[in-house]
Structure 1
Amino acid sequence: MVTLDSSIAFLIYITAVSSAAAGVTEACKSVIPFLTTDYEPQDDCWEDHNEAARFMNYKRFFNLLISVVAAGFIFGAIGLDPAKILLGDEIAYVENPWKVGTWMWGIIAVFGSPFFASILKILEGLKKQVETDRPPNRPRRKVTGPRDQK
């Protein structure tokens, strides 16, 4: 069953893997100069503009590809199924984490990370609001027993 806590745990897990994949991509950028180069047209003609745009699109594609592969590998290495986390199962580990479904979670994590981060902030705020909106304790009245009469 999906609960507020399981939803938050799911979003934290997805966001953490996405951030780790972004870190791997940044590490690859430091090694592969093609991934960090900004391409500008040499002359002000259509051919140069098209070639610069094509190289920029290649760069974006490879950055995303590295992130997706890294996220899929992280999901596989950890061996947790995000769907089981969302559903609040007792055991979220999978026997064979190297199936296609694991790699699909990598795609979902990379492309959905801004959305998931926004939803996570909203749900954490909702949880905090729910926890603070509890009705106050009932007023208590001190009761004393009969006093000793002397």
Structure 2
Amino acid sequence: MVTLDSSISFLIYITAVSSAASGVTEAFKSVIPFLATDYEAKENCWEDQYRAARLMHYKRFFNLLISVLAAGVIFGMLGLDPALILTGAESAYVKNSWQLGTWMWGIVAVFGSPFFASLLKILESFKQSVDSNLPPNRPRRKVSGTRE
């Protein structure tokens, strides 16, 4: 069953793996110059503009590919299934963590990380307001008026 605590645990796990995958991608950028270079057209002609745009697209693709592969490897090495964390299962460990589902979670973690980070902030603040046990806000002074 999905609870507030299991949802927060799931989001923390996903964003942590996404951050780790981002760090791996940055490490690859420092080693492979192609991944960190911004390409611009040498001259203002159509062919140079096309070549620069194509190289930028290749660079973005390889950066995302490295990030997804890194997230998949991290999920596989940890051996935890995020779906089991979300549903609040007793054990989130899986016997064969190198299945296709693991790699799919890598894609979800990389492409959904901004959304998951925002959702995590919202859920944590909601949990704090629920845990504070404060009575709901009430008016501070009575409002009187005449009925017509």
Taking structure 1 as the reference length, the TM-score comes to 0.89
- Find the counterpart in structure 1 of residue 56 from structure 2: 56
Per-residue deviation at 1:133? 3.3
- Find the counterpart in structure 2 of residue 42 from structure 1: 42
Counterpart residue identity of residue 116, structure 2: F
- Find the counterpart in structure 2 of residue 129 from structure 1: 129
Larger radius of gyration: 1
User: Are 2:108 and 1:108 aligned?
Assistant: yes
Counterpart residue identity of residue 103, structure 1: W
Which string of whole-angstrom CA distances, capped at 9 and with x for unpartnered residues, describes residues 49-103 of structure 1? 1110100000000000000000000000000000000000010000000000000
Helix, strand or coil at the partner of 1:93: coil
User: Are 2:83 and 1:93 aligned?
Assistant: no
Length, aligned pairs only: 136
Per-residue deviation at 1:45? 1.1
Q: Which runs of 5+ in 1 are unaligned?
A: 136-150
Shifted more, 1-10 versus 46-55: the winner is 46-55
Counterpart residue identity of residue 18, structure 1: S
Q: Which runs of 5+ in 2 are unaligned?
A: 136-148
What percentage of residue pairs aligned between the two structures are identical?
A: 74
Counterpart residue identity of residue 109, structure 1: A
Q: CA RMSD in A?
A: 1.1
Counterpart residue identity of residue 37, structure 1: T
- Runs of 4+ aligned residues of structure 1 deviating over 4 Å after TM superposition are none
Within-5 A mapping of 1:133-144: 133-135=133-135
- Find the counterpart in structure 1 of residue 67 from structure 2: 67
